[in-house]
Amino acid sequence: MKKMWQSVASLTLMAAVVSVVPGEAQEAWNPFREKDEAARRSRRAAEPPQPTLSPMDGVFHNNSGSRVAVPPAGQSGGQPGFGSAYPGSDAPPEYARAAAGSQPGPQFGSQFGSQFGSQFGSMGAAREASNASKIERLELEPALTTDGSGLPLDAWRGLDVKAVEEIFAGLSMPPKSAALHALWQRLLSASADAPAGGQTPAHFDAVRLEALYRSGLIGAMGARLDATSPDDPIFQSFALRRDLAIGKREAACQTTKGLMGRRADLPKQISGELHLLAGYCAAVASNPGGAGVAADLAREESVDAPVALAALDALAGHGKAPLTPPKQVRVLDYRLLELLGPVAPEQVIDRAEPALVAALALQETAEPRVRVAAAEAAARLWAIDAEQLAAAYRAASEGADDPALRRAESIRQIAAETAAPRKLQLMRSALDDARQKGLYLPMARVLGPMLANVTPSPDVRANVDTAIEIAIAAGDTRRAREFANSAGARHWLALIDIGEPGLSEESRERNLEALDDMVKRGRFSADLLHRLATVLDATDVNVPIPLWEAASRTPQPSMGYLPDTGVLAQLQDAAKKKDQARTILLSLRAFGPVGADGVHLIALGDTIRALRRSGLDRDARALGVEALLAQWPRSGGA
C-alpha cells in the first residue's frame, strides 16, 4: 500500500506550488490587421481573419449568419459544420442533417492511442464514401454528468492519472481568476469518469482531494469524502486534515489514534506527520510529556515542520525557541499556536495556506477580527463564496481602528439602508475601497443581493453605474440590462453583451457603436482598449474599425504573465480535440499565478478561444467580462 500511494504522497506533501515561469512568447501578437483586412471586416467579407486559435477549424460559432466558414486544408467548401453549445443548464441545440446534395462539411475529432482503445467521432455532420454509396454520420451530444457541473462524463479523456498529477504539480493553486476558479471547482467536484492509470480505483479520488485541500475548498472536500470508503487509510488522513481545519479536535484526535496503528499503510511523510498530530492531541489532553515525546519522534523521522515542532517544544515546557517566520503557516501549525495563546491575525493570515484561511473564515467561534481578516484572504483566493464573506462581515464587531472591521461595518450599514440613492452611494464607496484591497469582485458579489429592492428610477440615475457593475459581477445580466437601459448607458450594454451567447451580431455591433464617443474622449485607457480588442476578437465579434484605429495609436502591451513555451500550443490541441478537463487545466497553466487583469493578452485571447472551442462558451465569455469589468469606465467619468 505504501508503494501504491507514493505518487499521491509526492503531491500531498509538496511544500510549495511550482509556479510557471514565463517563457518565450508563443508568437508575436499583433491585433492590428492591414487596412485592407480591416476593410474586409467592415464589409463582412467571405474570408474572416483567423485568430491565433481559429474556432471550430474555420467554422465560426455565432448566430449572425453573416460569416462564411473557411474549410480546413484538404476539404472542399460547403455547408459549415455544427458548433458545440456550452453543455450547461441551457437546453442543448437541435442538430440537423446537412441539406441534400450539399458538400461534406469539415470533420472534427482525433484518434487516441491504444491505451484508450477507442476513436472519438467528429463534431458536426460528416459523410463517408463507401464504394458508390454515401453514408451520413452525426455525433450525438456528449452524455453529461448529473451533478449540475455541465461537464461530460468523459471530461477527463486524453489524460491518465499520472498526467493529471504532473499537470497539478505545475499549477498555481488556487486559480486567481474568478471564472477559471469556478471551472476548476466544477472539474474537481464533477462525477465524471475517472481517468485510466490509477494504482488503485481510489487513486484518482485521492489526487482530487489533495487538489481541493490545497485550493482551500473545505466544503467540497467534505462532500467528496462522503462518497469515498471510510476504511481507506489515505481517505482517513484527508478526513483528519479536514476535521483539524474546521476545529473538530475530538474527531481529528480519534482518527489520529486509529491511523497510528496503520502507519505502515501510509506514505513515509504522512506517517511522520502523524507524530505531530499525536503531539497536538497530547497537548489538547493536557499531557505535556506526550507532546515532547511526539516532537522527538517526528525529528527522528526528519519531518520538516519548524513551526509545529517549536510549538510542541513550548507546550512540553521546553521554552519558546526563537522562530524565523515561515513562508507558509499550515493548519496544524495554527492549531498548535492556538494552544499557546491568542494568535495575532496579522502574523498568520498573509502566510496561511488556503485551507487555513477558509477554515478560520467559516469558524463562527473565531475571534471576530481574525475571522474577518481570514474571510477576506479566503475571498481573494475564491476559497469561500460571497455569502460566506458576508456572514463574516455581519458577525464582526465594531472596530474603527481596523480597516477590515470598518469594511464589515459599511456592509451592515448598506444592508440597513432603505433609501435607494443613499444605498447606492454607500455601495460605491465600499466597491472603491475593495478595489484597492484586491477585493473588487468578491465585494461586488457580496453587494449583489442588496440590490433586490433597488429599482431603476430617476433618483438613482446618478449612481446607476454602481448598480450595473454589481449586477454584472453577480452574474445577474437581467438586472444589469434593466439598469443600463433605464439610464441609456449603452456602453454598459456592450460589456453585458460579451458575456451572453446567442445574441445577434447586429445587436452586439449596435451597442459597440456607443463606445466610439467614449474612446474619442479618452475614457478608455490604452490597456483597456487592447484588452477589449482581444476579448472581442476571441469571442468572434467584428471589432469596430474606429476601436481598432484608436488602439493602433497606442503602444501594444508587453506586460503580463505568459506561460512557458509550448503551453498555449498544448491548449490549442486540447481544445481542438474537445478534451475539456485538459483544456481547463491548461487554461490554468496559461494564467499561472495571476488573474484576468495580470495575464498577457496573448494568453488571455488564446484561453478564451480554447474554452469556447472545447464547448465551454459561457465560461469563456465570463472570463472576457472579468478581464474588462474592473477598468470599464463609468458614465460619470469616475
Does the residue 10 lie in any domain? no
Flag the least confident range among 28-37, 235-244, 276-285.
28-37
Return the percentage of the chain with pLDDT > 90, whole number.
Answer: 50
Does the residue 313 lie in any domain? yes
Q: Which helix (H) or strand (E) holds 210?
A: helix 203-214
Return the percentage of the chain with pLDDT > 70, whole number.
Answer: 76
How confident is the model over 302-342, as pLDDT tens digits?
Answer: 888 989 999 999 999 876 666 677 889 999 999 999 898 88
Cα separation of 123 and 82, whole Å? 7
How confident is the model over 531-560, as pLDDT tens digits?
Answer: 999 999 999 998 888 888 888 888 888 889
Cis peptide, bond prior to residue 501, ω within 30 of zero: no
Number of domains in the chain: 1
Tell me which residue of 476, 479, 502, 474 sits closest to 86, measured CA to CA.
Answer: 502
Whether the predicted pLDDT of 76 surpasses 70? no
* Contact in structure between 541 and 533 (CB atoms under 8 Å): no
Tell me which residue of 538, 528, 533, 532 sits closest to 611, measured CA to CA.
Answer: 538
| Confidence band for 39, pLDDT divided at 50, 70 and 90 | very low
Does the residue 301 lie in any domain? yes
Does the residue 384 lie in any domain? no
How confident is the model over 440-462, as pLDDT tens digits?
Answer: 999 999 999 999 989 998 888 88
Tell me which residue of 365, 324, 323, 329 sits closest to 346, measured CA to CA.
Answer: 329
Does the residue 72 lie in any domain? no
State residue 130 phi and psi, 5-degree precision. Answer: -130, 110
Query: What is the structure's pLDDT at 251?
Result: 94
Domain span including residue 188: 161-372
Does the residue 548 lie in any domain? no
| Confidence band for 385, pLDDT divided at 50, 70 and 90 | very high
| Confidence band for 400, pLDDT divided at 50, 70 and 90 | low
Does the residue 250 lie in any domain? yes
Query: What is the structure's pLDDT at 368?
Result: 85
How confident is the model over 163-203, as pLDDT tens digits?
Answer: 999 999 999 999 999 999 999 999 999 988 899 998 888 88
Q: List Cα–Cα distances, 602 to 439, 524, 550, in angstroms.
A: 25, 20, 19
How confident is the model over 141-170, as pLDDT tens digits?
Answer: 678 887 778 898 889 999 999 999 999 999
Cα separation of 572 and 555, whole Å? 27
Residue with more model confidence, 57 or 435: 435
* Contact in structure between 378 and 354 (CB atoms under 8 Å): yes
